[in-house]
């Protein structure tokens, strides 16, 4: 049973907005991965035809990959398609599965909250120092922390939701 199915208030405006936000993360990640594929193909195609190259394409592709990865992470956790090693869960009793779920969700919540906070601290420090990224593109370094901070805040909320659902159902009772 998913968290959404177990929640009687899933159709509330707040839950619908949250669902839209998470679905939007998945959509943005998919669009970014598609755009990366098109950009790489266009650059290779232009080079093979002797039309020159897009000197910024490698750098933009790197940033798109980072952005797509961080935007996809909360959506993957939300829909339950995140990486999960469930060998222990399968071998455990119902009570043991409940405890493992609670433990891993609490650890995920704690780790993501710390990483979200650290992203904010690093972004503020970078902005105060006026640090810049100098490659083909030039921009403030703190911009790189925005996708990470956004993702870790959403992951923190999602893990909190999962902890709430696990505690609420007390081992499937």
DSSP 140: E
Question: Which is nearest to 150 in space by CA: 160, 141, 158, 138?
Answer: 158
Q: What is the pLDDT of residues 39-67, one digit of tens each?
A: 999 999 999 999 998 889 999 999 999 99
Question: Which is nearest to 158 in space by CA: 70, 75, 82, 68?
Answer: 75
Q: What pLDDT was estimated at residue 6? A: 44
Residue written as tokens 């904010």?
120
Q: What pLDDT was estimated at residue 38? A: 96
Distance CA 48, CA 66 (A): 27
Sign of CA dihedral 14, 114, 118, 56: negative
Distance CA 15, CA 7 (A): 10
DSSP 168: H
In order, the DSSP letters of 93-107 are -HHHHHHHHHHHHHH
Q: Mean pLDDT throughout 115-122?
A: 96
Q: Residue 92: what are its φ and ψ, rounded to 5°?
A: -95, 160
Confidence band for 171, pLDDT divided at 50, 70 and 90: low
Distance CA 26, CA 29 (A): 5
Torsion of CA 133, 139, 142, 144, to 10 degrees: -80
Average confidence score pLDDT of the chain: 89
């Amino acid at each position: 049973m998913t968290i959404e199915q177990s929640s009687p208030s899933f159709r509330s405006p707040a839950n619908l907005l949250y669902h839209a936000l998470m679905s939007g993360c998945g959509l943005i990640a998919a669009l970014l991965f598609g755009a990366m594929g098109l950009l790489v193909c266009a650059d290779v195609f232009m080079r093979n035809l002797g039309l020159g190259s897009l000197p910024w394409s490698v750098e933009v592709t790197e940033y798109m990959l980072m952005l797509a990865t961080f935007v996809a992470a909360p959506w993957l956790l939300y829909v339950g398609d995140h990486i999960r090693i469930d060998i222990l869960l399968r071998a455990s009793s119902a009570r043991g599965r409940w405890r493992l779920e609670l433990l891993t969700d609490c650890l995920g919540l704690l780790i993501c909250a710390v990483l979200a906070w650290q992203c904010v601290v690093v972004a503020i420090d970078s902005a105060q120092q006026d640090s810049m990224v100098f490659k083909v593109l030039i921009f403030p370094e703190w911009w790189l922390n925005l996708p990470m901070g956004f993702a870790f805040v959403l992951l923190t909320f999602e893990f909190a939701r999962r902890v709430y659902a696990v505690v609420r159902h007390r081992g499937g009772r």
